[in-house]
Amino acid sequence: MCAGVTAFNGLRQGGAAAGSKVAVLGTGGVGTLAVRFAAAIGARVAVVSRSRRAEAQARDLGAELYVAFDEQDPAEALRAWGGADLIMNTAPHTGTAQAAFGGLRPDGTLLFVGFDGAEVSVPPVALVLHRQRVMGSPSGSPHDLRDTLAFAAAHGIVPDVTPVTLDDAPGVLAAMDAGTHRGRAVITFGRS
């Protein structure tokens, strides 16, 4: 629920619409749901991630462009795509969004739903001359959650989860800490 409402409400607050170009930074739980929601809205979707590891999945979810941050400058790649109306940072790194900012179209929005403790610095001339915006969006209200669930149900969007036992949880947490875990793990409790 948290990842879903964060992704859906962020797209809504950022102005994603049919035909708009949305660049999703990050391929974790929020990012993959953002790609699915954006595609269902009718937006054209680009995904920016560290490596090509998630490319096939991103394309299967509806991304028409995939940018591997470790191979290509994301701003340059987004400009070559024609620029993004919305760049949605779902990655837990502020620097990823900073690097992609130059890929915004005029009147575009850089939206933070993921971030770290780093400061954001953007050129004021871009904000003024290109009417670009930088904003953040928390996950959302109970009303936003109802809208998210209704939209997800109407479009058949459900998160991909991997069931794990309570005994498996320490290993999953260690993999998450190491940055090697993919997807969402859900602890299941069975009867003894």
Are residues 13 and 108 both part of a single domain?
Answer: yes
Are residues 125 and 80 both part of a single domain?
Answer: yes
Q: What is the pLDDT of residues 136-153, one digit of tens each?
A: 998 889 999 999 999 999
CATH number of the domain within which 22 lies: 3.40.50.720
Q: Which amino acid is at 179?
A: G
Q: Which amino acid is at 31?
A: G
pLDDT confidence of 185, banded at 50, 70, 90?
confident
Are residues 22 and 91 both part of a single domain?
Answer: yes
pLDDT at 99 over 90: yes
Are residues 151 and 164 both part of a single domain?
Answer: no
Q: Which domain holds residue 56?
A: 2-155
- Residues 90-95 have a mean pLDDT of 91
DSSP strands (E only) in the chain: 21-25, 44-49, 63-68, 84-89, 104-112, 133-136, 161-164, 184-187
Are residues 186 and 173 both part of a single domain?
Answer: yes
The domain tally of the chain equals 2
- Bridge partners of 133, per DSSP, are 109
